[in-house]
């Protein structure tokens, strides 16, 4: 009887051990699978982010070159055309032209040179954002106010916090696209930009006083949806409000805490 009990105990123990080993194996397999899925998702997210970052840099460069081309043709080209007309008139007058005519032509040439310097500065800082996105967009607004005769304002609140450079590139591209849309579609004579730093959050508002647009009517693949997608990639929230009185885009970007390494 004791022998049968021992055999039964051994069989029961074997079953229990087998069940435990099977359970451990299943749990190990499950956690390894979840870990692999997590790593794959992380790699995929990083690839998507880097892809959008490269795309943003390319678009910044393309937008910059488009702006330079437009200003060379529409603004500087016209100024030099007027200067050339005045020079032709002076040539026709031979020695009868006045000193004031020469001074006026000189001023036109100087104005063209100054504006070419502004455009050269724009090209030099187009992709890398040498300092920060605030300086980059400030230069854009200054150029727009000078060339387009549109009133631009930039208001800063709070103490500036340095951001991740890659995130700054994407934020700048979002702002650049927003400004481009205002210039193309809004018919606004005003562009207002507000940037606020508070409690590790950067809040950005860019608004106009144009004719507005239907937010719900924006189709997939539009610039607005692209901006929302890019904001999401850097952990920011982008909202749009628009009416017949104007439009406003708000970006709320939680600033990641950067832990500085200390030398031991």
Q: pLDDT (tens digit, 9 = 90+) per residue, 22-57?
A: 888 888 777 777 777 677 766 777 777 777 777 777
Q: pLDDT (tens digit, 9 = 90+) per residue, 211-262?
A: 888 766 665 546 788 888 889 889 999 999 988 889 999 999 999 876 443 4
Q: Are 199 and 158 in contact (CB under 8 A)?
A: no
Average pLDDT across the chain, whole number: 78
pLDDT at 224: 82
What pTM was estimated for this model as a whole?
Answer: 0.60
pLDDT at 261: 39
* Residue 55: burial class (beta carbons within 10 Å; 0-12, 13-18, 19+): middle
CATH code for the part of the protein at 150-258:
3.30.565.10
Query: Is pLDDT of 168 > 50?
Result: yes
Strand order through the sheet with 237-243: 151-157, 190-198, 201-208, 246-254, 237-243
Beta-ladder partners of 237: 252
């Amino acid at each position: 009887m004791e022998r049968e009990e021992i055999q039964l105990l051994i069989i029961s123990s074997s079953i229990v051990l087998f069940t435990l080993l099977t359970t451990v194996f299943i749990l190990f397999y499950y956690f390894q699978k979840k870990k692999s899925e997590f790593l794959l998702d992380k790699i995929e997210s990083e690839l998507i982010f880097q892809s959008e970052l490269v795309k943003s840099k390319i678009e910044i460069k393309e937008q910059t070159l488009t702006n330079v081309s437009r200003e060379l043709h529409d603004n500087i080209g016209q100024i030099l055309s007027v200067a050339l007309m005045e020079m032709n008139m002076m040539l026709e007058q031979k020695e009868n032209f006045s000193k004031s005519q020469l001074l006026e032509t000189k001023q036109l040439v100087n104005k063209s040179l100054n504006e070419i310097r502004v455009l050269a500065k724009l090209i030099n800082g187009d992709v890398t954002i040498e300092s920060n996105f605030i300086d980059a967009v400030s230069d854009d607004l200054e150029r727009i106010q000078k060339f387009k005769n549109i009133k631009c304002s930039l208001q800063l609140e709070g103490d500036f916090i340095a951001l991740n450079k890659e995130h700054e590139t994407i934020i700048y591209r979002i702002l650049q696209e927003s400004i481009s849309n205002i210039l193309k579609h809004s018919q606004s004579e005003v562009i207002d930009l507000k940037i606020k730093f508070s409690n590790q959050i950067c809040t950005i508002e860019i608004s106009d006083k144009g004719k507005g647009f239907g937010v719900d009517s924006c189709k997939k693949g539009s610039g607005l949806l692209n901006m929302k997608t890019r904001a999401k990639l850097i952990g920011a929230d982008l909202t749009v409000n628009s009416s017949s009185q104007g439009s406003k885009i708000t970006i709320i970007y939680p600033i990641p805490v950067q832990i500085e390494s200390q030398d031991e």
